[in-house]
Amino acid sequence: MKFGLNQHQKETADFAARKPLPINRPIYHSLARSLNPLNQKEPSYFPSLIRVSTGTAIVLGLAEGKLDAKPTTVYLMTYRSGKCTANCGFCPQARGSKSSAELLSRVTWPTFPTLNVIAALGEGFRQGKIRRVCIQALNYSDVFADLEAVVKGIKREAAVPVSVSCQPLNRANIELLARAGVDRLGVALDAATETVFNRVKGKDAGGFYTWDDQFRLLNEAQAVFGKGNVSTHVIVGLGENEKEAAAAIQRCVDMGVLPALFAFTPVRGTRLEKNAPPPLEAYRRVQVARYLITNGLTRVNDIAFNEEGEIVGFGLKSDVFEEVINSGEPFRTSGCRDCNRPFYNEKPGGPIYNYPQELNRQEIREARSQLKRD
């Protein structure tokens, strides 16, 4: 049996039966025009600065440096002088965090003039250096005006797919992003259970998010963007067990939402700075469960768990399991097509939770041994 072992191709093909965007406006490839989007009829407002992940800045030639792995997606973050109005315990951008405002996870995000970034990413896309743009949005009053303007500017410059990960709050904001040209919308669950959610980013954390609202917004996003064009983020290591993580993944997949897996990364200055990252073995098993569930090869009800909620069997014929593991695909960064987030959760020296590129034979052997159970 052969199935799509290129994770990014397979998941995108299965998930992204993309409906046409409700707008159809010309795409301009002229650097001069992109440098002056205010010459266009819209947007009438443009944020002057934007944050760019260091790896992205190097790939786009905005900064100098050496990279162990190059991002294939341009990672941007909306800029504001203060922090996010929410208060997620793991996030350096949280209202109550004492971390540098330049951090998200363990990555540094310096600011650049937005127009320079748009021009550079257009050039990078035409040269084949990057294949997607992802904009992470903080919560603040003008965030949707910022997102609308930046996405329109990007779409004028290049026909690059754009993902936005944000807290849309309501359907009107979701529709605004679709009209601006966003291709995929991400609404982060982050937590795998309601209890963990409340503790880490909901009411017990001084946050305004609710578990039910996140699912309502994921459904609203699908109604606007179409099934298969909505993503979420699930962080492993916030206090859930493997069974709960697999159940959350299954719930998302059953809705048509693509879950991207992250490993909890303690960052100095955040409320959870003293917590440990997840054991690699647990993360590997959840990675495999995610891969199998997302590709329709197993369901959470077919996975075997022990009393601690650890995965002890994947409910799969051994030849299929062998093929999946030997492909190395379950261990790669998951999420939107071409999103590889190099070293977002890990130091270059390891341990590597999410491999940003195809694994070599040695890496596959290591990842397999870290599963502990075959």
Give me 293's structure tokens: 């569930």
Rg of the chain in Å (alpha carbons): 20
Q: Given the complex with ligand SF4, which of 305 and 344 has the nearer CB atom?
A: 344
Q: Given the complex with ligand SF4, which of 119 and 260 has the nearer CB atom?
A: 260
CA–CA dist 334, 298 (Å, integer): 17
Strand order in the sheet with 258-263: 111-113, 49-52, 73-78, 132-136, 162-165, 184-186, 230-236, 258-263
Q: Given the complex with ligand SF4, which of 71 and 207 has the nearer CB atom?
A: 71
Q: Pattern 55-74, binding to ligand SF4, x per CB under 6 A?
A: ------------------x-
Q: Given the complex with ligand SF4, which of 89 and 335 has the nearer CB atom?
A: 335
For the bound state, the minimum distance from the C-beta of residue 334 to ligand SF4, rounded and expressed in Å, comes to: 7
Q: Which of 163, 241, 287, 294 binds ligand SF4 (CB under 6 A)?
A: 163
Determine the interface stretch with ligand SF4 among 222-230, 313-321, 335-343, 350-358 (rule: CB under 6 A).
Answer: 335-343
For the bound state, the minimum distance from the C-beta of residue 120 to ligand SF4, rounded and expressed in Å, comes to: 18
Tell whether residue 34 is a contact of ligand SF4 (CB under 6 A). no
- For residues 169-198, which are near ligand SF4 according to CB under 6 A? 186
Q: Which residues, 6+ apart, have CB-to-CB distance to 350 below 8 Å?
A: none
For the bound state, the minimum distance from the C-beta of residue 241 to ligand SF4, rounded and expressed in Å, comes to: 23
Q: Pattern 204-243, binding to ligand SF4, x per CB under 6 A?
A: ---------------------------x-x----------
CA–CA dist 280, 101 (Å, integer): 28
41 by Cβ neighbours in 10 Å (0-12 / 13-18 / 19+) ranks as: exposed
Contacts 24+ apart (CB under 8 A), 315-320: 316/292, 319/1, 320/1
Kindly report whether the peptide bond that precedes residue 330 is cis, defined as omega within 30 degrees of 0.
no
Residue 119 has a CB neighbour count (10 Å cut-off) of: 21
Backbone angles phi and psi of 174, in degrees to 5:
-65, -45
For the bound state, the minimum distance from the C-beta of residue 54 to ligand SF4, rounded and expressed in Å, comes to: 15
- For residues 336-355, which are near ligand SF4 according to CB under 6 A? 336, 339, 341
* Chain positions contacting ligand SF4, by CB under 6 A: 73, 134, 163, 165, 186, 231, 233, 260, 335-336, 339, 341
